[in-house]
Copies of this chain bind each other. A is one copy, B any other.
């Protein structure tokens, strides 16, 4: 069987079926930071297709610019008291967690850290909810939004305040989502059996031991608890204030028309899904462009050995010095060249082969033919870019979903994962040498890359199609179950179970009593005679 790229006969028949929307209007509620990178791409796509996009941002927004050609912004100014400073917040957070982990971490230390984390989570959501308050209280603004006649509200429900505004405006919603309130998006909208679906926060695969399944179930309970008692109450207060007590916020999340899920199954473990979940994982990926000449010269100077790329993302400036020293020492011993994104203090023991940069064209480097491996913290964007380009990974996860992300590559044999608190020169060197020199890692990643690219449509086109679908059809109610409106004891059919169990018991009792009664009547009279 010969496999070859070819003219796409398949799609020709489809072109005539497709309709597009002219001059639609989209209201966007993004999440700042790395999430914005994704949302901005979709906004650029919508703009290119002739839609008018309005982006809601706060005055202290980190990445979401006020004035950009491809969208209009709507800036909300929040009371300063509760604003969160980006870098301080995450660096403090990381340093604390690394310290607890390194010290072996007593259960009490973890509980106290977890408690602090919940406080931070609640604080972040409170800040986000203030955007809703400011908007809903501003009658002039709301009237202006109503008059604009938006067609759809596009929301990153990591901070889901846009759902309240969409409800007030009576507009259909599309989610651009992986994380929602306190966990992964699927858990809000699709059945998630804990027997084979690893819960958010658990670094587990879909094949678990008995003890792992117990931990997974307990974590599921914990996540549900956080949703119910930490995150949703923040928004439920607004729901009650503005829409009355007959609604609850969790149901408003479940009512979203389309979930554009930033997931692909070369990465995620197969799990139940729903008809209104559309997979767009890797929609940000694109072929690489040529490197700037000085970077290209550096890369070419690596000869046949090639080069290694290291980046730990944008949220964290750099690792503590004792860790970077170990890593620098390891890099210095490699025949490869190394390009390292590092904004912190320069390690003293840096090798001649290692180039430190504060910013680098990650996608272009990952797509370069001379790249051998990618040392990554495991942020979703970087993971999908490495899958797209087929570059094996050495995972150094730090925070949030990063340990879960790199695990997904590790179980597919496409990555080696290191514990950042236990990194030594030897362990780091060993991992990098294995990934670079043993073909199995690269081959596995190439296989994932092939599967990921083998799609009938580019995932960005898929995302744009479904946003326009919702605009054209004023929602997608036919794809969305309304089972969430059922009482929980009917959804999990406890009422039916109790009724049927009761019935069986009743019938058994009646049967036994009848048999006893008959026995008494028949044998009860005879027995005395026999005696």
Contact = CB atoms under 8 A, between A and B. Distances in A.
Interface in A196-231: 196, 206-207, 210, 213-214, 217-218
Nearest to A450: B473
Contact of A472 (B454, B462, B491): B454
A81 interface: no
B493 A194 contact: yes
B195 A481 contact: no
Interface of A: 1-11, 13-25, 49, 149, 151, 190-191, 193-196, 206-207, 210, 213-214, 217-218, 265-266, 269-276, 279, 450-451, 453-458, 460-462, 464-465, 469, 471-473, 478-483, 486, 490-493, 495-496, 499-500
Contacts of A491: 193, 195-196
Contact of A22 (B4, B11, B213, B483): B4
Contacts of A462: 456
Nearest to A468: B10
25 contacts: A1-B471, A4-B22, A6-B20, A8-B14, A8-B18, A8-B20, A9-B20, A10-B20, A11-B461, A13-B458, A14-B455, A17-B453, A17-B457, A17-B458, A193-B483, A195-B493, A195-B496, A210-B499, A217-B500, A270-B274, A270-B478, A272-B273, A272-B274, A450-B473, A456-B465
A22 B49 contact: no
Contact of A454 (B7, B194, B195, B473): B473
B13 A454 contact: no
Contact of A271 (B20, B22, B207, B275): B275
A2 to B, nearest CB: 5
A456 B3 contact: no
Contacts of A271: 275, 481
A7 B20 CA distance: 8
Contacts of A218: 500
Contact of A461 (B13, B22, B151, B207): B13
A475 B193 CA distance: 25
B213 A493 contact: yes
A276 B214 CA distance: 28
